[in-house]
Amino acid sequence: MLENTMSSLVPRRRPARRKQHFHKFRRAITVWLIVGLGFLVALNFLNEHPALRNGLVVGVVILLGLLLFRKAWNRSRLKASRIEEVDRLSGEDFERLLQQLFQRMGYKAELTKTSGDFGADVVLTDRDGVRLVVQAKRWRGAVGLTAVQEVVAAIPVYRAQGGLVVTNSRFTSAAITLARHNSIRLIGRRDLIKLLAGIDGGL
C-alpha cells in the first residue's frame, strides 16, 4: 500500500513542474517581445528626430568617457597611495607610516611605547593644542569593536579630546556602531588611500 501511495505521488509532481517551466518560458518570451518592441519603437522615434538621436549619442559618449576617466583616476590613486606596499608592512612600520603621514598633514605626531600604550599607538596634537589618540591596525580581516574600545579607553589616559582608528582594511558593523556612539573617527582602506595619495588633506 505504501508503494502504491509513493508511485501515485510521482506523476502528480511532474506535470506541476512542467507547468511551472512552461509559465517561466512564456513570461521570458513575453518580456523579450516587450523589450524588442520597445526598442523598435524607440529606434523609429529617434530616426524621425535626428536632433534627439544625435544628442543621445553625444550623451552616451560623454558618459562612457566619464566612466573611463573615473577608472583611470582610481588606478592612479591606488598607485600613488602604494597601498599594496602598506599591506605588507609590519604593525610597527605601519605605526611609523601613520606618524609620517600625520606630520605631513600638519600634526605633531608622537609614537607611544610598543607595550603598555593604553590603547593608543600615535598621539596627535594640532596647531590649536587639540590632542587626538590613534589606534593603528595593519589588518587583513575586518577590524572589530575591540580596537574602538581601546581608543575610547586611551582618550582620558592621554587627556585627549578625541580618537581615531586607522586601518588598511575595513571595519565590522559592530565597530562602526560603537565608534558612532563614542564619536570615534574610523579611517578605513578607502579613506587611507585618499590620505596617502594626498587627495584628502584633513581629518
- Longest CA pairwise span in the chain (Å): 90
Q: Please list the rounded mean pLDDT of every run of 10 residues in the chain (203 residues).
A: 41 54 79 84 78 71 65 49 86 94 94 83 95 95 96 96 97 97 96 82 54
Q: How far is CA 70 from CA 78, 192, 200, in A?
A: 12, 18, 17
C-alpha 116/C-alpha 4 separation (Å) is 76
**Model pTM score:** 0.61
Nearest in space to 94 (alpha carbons), one of 143, 130, 128: 143
pLDDT of residue 162: 96
Q: Domain ranges for the chain, please list them.
A: 2-81, 86-196
C-alpha 163/C-alpha 23 separation (Å) is 59
pLDDT of residue 40: 82
* Cα 104 → chain centroid: 25
**3-class DSSP state of 198:** coil
Q: Say if residues 165 and 137 touch (Cβ distance below 8 Å).
A: yes
pLDDT of residue 158: 95
pLDDT of residue 64: 67
CATH code, residues 86-196: 3.40.1350.10
CA angle (62 as vertex; 61, 68 as ends), nearest 5: 90
Write out the H or E segment, with its range, that includes residue 145. Answer: helix 145-157
CA angle (29 as vertex; 25, 30 as ends), nearest 5: 115
Residue with cell 600638519: 106
C-alpha 75/C-alpha 88 separation (Å) is 19
Nearest in space to 191 (alpha carbons), one of 202, 177, 180, 179: 202
